[in-house]
A and B are shown apart, each in its own frame.
Chain A
Amino acid sequence: MIEETPRIHYSAKEKNEIFHGEFMPHINSMYNFAYRLTLDGDDSKDLVQDTYLKAFRFIESFQRGTNAKAWLFRILKNSFINDYRKKSKEPNKVDYQEVETYYNSEDVDRQITPDLRVEALKDMIGDEISNALNSLDVDFRTVIILCDLEGFKYEEMAKILDIPIGTVRSRLHRARQLLKEKLSTYAKSMGYKSTSL
């Protein structure tokens, strides 16, 4: 994206305004995203810093008033893949063929719901939810964060992640299912009885 966009000349004052006025307001979301990707405090700080410095270096590729948050998230995600993913505490890669096959099969039409009740969720503290989210494969974790925490739309997520909208949709569906399974396991460990929906 950075390479393809026509460059716009900004004065030093304008660069300052863009950086502090349009980029910096997203730093809390960026830090949380980085932390959820790397699962490491130091790595997430480095990743956010690298991202912001990169955003400043390519500020002339950014058009004022457009979606700065999506642009920054995309840079952060690419930096993570290129520089951090190899060394992060990452579980095995997902077999997307399997995911797509699952989503496109007739199984998806069945109400596949792990045994979990709303009452059990109410007793869960932050750590359990956070651990369940962190335990998902990074690609599933990412779509949950982008959609549920940051409120990005399919189209924005597709651009941030460089994947088709259909894949965003199927990945989100599978991610929600997996998260539900993790929470169901926690609920059982807390002594809640299984109840089918």
Chain B
Amino acid sequence: MSTPSTPNPFLHDGRKSTCIEMLQVILDGEATPDQKAYFKEHMDLCMPCFKGYELDMAIKQLVQSKCCGGDAPADLVEQIRAQVSQKIS
């Protein structure tokens, strides 16, 4: 694993994270700004990480754009509103 010159923000109990562990933290949206910056620099030196990131992010973006489902059915929304209004009054 190639290492950037900046301090490693992925250290856990003194142990460096592997490429897959770093990639997962990034993909899962759990990375700190320092970790994001470190990983970006790391990718310039590590082709498997770069390719893995590119593919995994493409899948994530595809899921976000194609599986969000749109609006809930209007009759369902109305039904819930009506039932709750009845309980409140």
B63 engages A149 (CB within 8 Å): yes
- Residue among B18, B27, B66, B71 facing the most chain A CB atoms (10 A cut-off): B66
A4 at the interface (CB under 8 A from B): no
B18 engages A109 (CB within 8 Å): yes
- Give 15 A-B pairs besides A24-B77, A121-B59, A126-B66 with Cβ atoms closer than 8 angstroms: A12-B88, A31-B73, A36-B69, A45-B76, A56-B84, A108-B20, A118-B55, A121-B62, A129-B67, A145-B67, A149-B63, A173-B20, A179-B59, A179-B63, A197-B51
Residue interface bits A1-43, CB-to-B below 8 A is 1, else 0: 0000000000010011001100010011011100110000000
A49 engages B79 (CB within 8 Å): yes
Q: Residue B72 contacts which of A12, A30, A148 (CB distance < 8 angstroms)?
A: A30
Q: How many A-B residue pairs have CB under 8 A?
A: 115
Contacts A111-B52, A154-B30; A169 near B69 (Cβ below 8 A): no
A180 at the interface (CB under 8 A from B): yes
Contacts of B56 in A (CB 8 A): 176, 180
A48 at the interface (CB under 8 A from B): yes
Question: Which partner residue on chain A sits nearest B48 by CB separation?
Answer: A111
Contacts of B60 in A (CB 8 A): 148
Determine how close the nearest CB of chain B comes to the CB of A59; give it in whole angstroms.
10
Contacts of A126 in B (CB 8 A): 66-67
Determine how close the nearest CB of chain B comes to the CB of A182; give it in whole angstroms.
10
A129 engages B62 (CB within 8 Å): yes
B6 at the interface (CB under 8 A from A): no
A147 at the interface (CB under 8 A from B): yes
Question: Which partner residue on chain A sits nearest B49 by CB separation?
Answer: A111
Contacts of B59 in A (CB 8 A): 121, 176, 179-180, 183
B11 at the interface (CB under 8 A from A): no
